[in-house]
Amino acid sequence: MKININQNQNKEWSRMGPRAMFGQFMIDIAKENEKLIVLSADLGRSSGLDRFKSMFPKKYLSVGISEQNLIGVASGLSREGYKVFVTSFAPFLSMRASEHIRMNLGYMKHPVNLVALGGGVSMGFLGNSHFGLEDVSIIRSIPNISISSPADPAELKKILYDYSFNSRGPSYIRLTGIPGSPYVYKKNYNYKIGQPVTLTQGNKLLILSTGSVTARVLRAVEELNKKKTSIKLLNIHSLRPINSKLLNEIKKFKKIIVVEEHSIIGGLYSIVSETITSHNLKKEVKSISLPAKFGPTGNYEFLLDFHNLNEKKIENQILKFL
């Protein structure tokens, strides 16, 4: 199914935020897919699903605060032919339910779609218990599960529709950012699972970014490219699978920067490093990631600044690396 987007839509969706738009997109999909069912571990409101619940009460199920049971119920429903989406906060899904995800989704390949809320540090004052710092590294260690991290709500919509109307197997969809976060896409573009999206052209430096921080990277790069710095920026919305474009682009550049709102261990930086070493390439790679340790709590903008992930600090780090 072809999904078209435009700047006015994406601007409004970004104002509302990824969780609210997940709920709205589920409403849109439910109208077209009678087999859709959404499950939550007592986080319907946090998942933006209040309207969905009232409009489609038979398509929504809360299992309470029991993430392991959540995966078991979802797996059973998927075996009965339902298109199942499951929501919870990123650390609760990836850690509390990891054994069940490993067996039911990884080993048995039940086609359940996990939607992880609050990836990175977007949960702000709720702190480290709710931060999704290492979730990608955990899910990456389990075979057979696709991993997506949309840059903005427009990309989220394309991903959700793709998984709703195609046979993709089990998946993990990581939501980052908050209401009012900047957005990437101002016009429609071709989305394909595993295919990085080129956002800017250049030949001096390659930047690989994933998740909502990509919009902040894009703003920094656009400012620098006005000064003829010649930076190429790729949006890595699909962390697994990734097609040959990533390797081909890595081969072209001596210097590479990886930006992600995830621990430096096990996420995009690790994917890039593994790609480089497995092909015996010699590259200079810099990571702008979350550290492999617990940090402070606070509002989202403070935390991005603290971890050098706001636009100005990203720009400064790029300049130092050039």
Q: What is the CATH number of the domain that holds 239?
A: 3.40.50.920
Instruction: Return per-residue pLDDT of the chain as tens, 322 residues.
Output: 678 889 999 999 999 999 999 999 999 999 999 999 999 999 999 999 999 999 999 999 999 999 999 999 999 999 999 999 999 999 999 999 999 999 999 999 999 999 999 999 999 999 999 999 999 999 999 999 999 999 999 999 999 999 999 888 999 999 999 999 999 999 999 999 999 999 999 999 999 999 999 999 999 999 999 988 999 999 999 999 999 999 999 999 999 999 999 999 999 999 999 999 999 999 999 999 999 999 999 999 999 999 999 999 999 999 999 8
Q: What is the pLDDT of residue 72?
A: 97
Say yes or no: 211 and 156 in one domain.
Answer: no
* Residue 182 counted as domain residue: no
Q: Which range marks the domain in which residue 155 is found?
A: 7-174
Say yes or no: 167 and 281 in one domain.
Answer: no
Say yes or no: 226 and 158 in one domain.
Answer: no
Q: What is the CATH number of the domain that holds 84?
A: 3.40.50.970
Query: DSSP label at 97?
Result: T
Q: Measured between alpha carbons, how far is 262 from 270 in angstroms, rounded to an integer?
A: 11
Say yes or no: 133 and 236 in one domain.
Answer: no
Parallel, antiparallel, or unpaired for β 60-62 and 205-209?
A: unpaired
* Residue 192 counted as domain residue: no
* Residue 184 counted as domain residue: no
Say yes or no: 138 and 225 in one domain.
Answer: no
Say yes or no: 162 and 21 in one domain.
Answer: yes
* Residue 128 counted as domain residue: yes
Final residue belonging to a domain, choices 114, 142, 174: 174
Say yes or no: 147 and 203 in one domain.
Answer: no
Say yes or no: 242 and 313 in one domain.
Answer: yes
* Residue 187 counted as domain residue: no
* Residue 220 counted as domain residue: yes
**Amino acid at site 245:** K
- Residues 6+ positions from 171 with CB-CB distance below 8 Å: 112, 113, 114, 145, 146, 147, 148, 163
> How many distinct structural domains can be found in the chain?
2
- Record the tokens describing residue 137, joined without a space: 């590294």
Q: What is the pLDDT of residue 3?
A: 83
Say yes or no: 128 and 203 in one domain.
Answer: no
Final residue belonging to a domain, choices 174, 207, 224: 174
Say yes or no: 166 and 56 in one domain.
Answer: yes
* Residue 281 counted as domain residue: yes
- Buried/exposed code over 101-136 (b: 16+ C-beta within 10 A; e: otherwise): bbebbbeeebbbbbbbbbbbbbbbeeeeebbbbbbb
Say yes or no: 68 and 206 in one domain.
Answer: no
Say yes or no: 160 and 256 in one domain.
Answer: no
- Judged by DSSP in three states, 307 sits in coil
- Residues 6+ positions from 130 with CB-CB distance below 8 Å: 89, 91, 118, 123
* Residue 159 counted as domain residue: yes
Final residue belonging to a domain, choices 141, 174, 207: 174
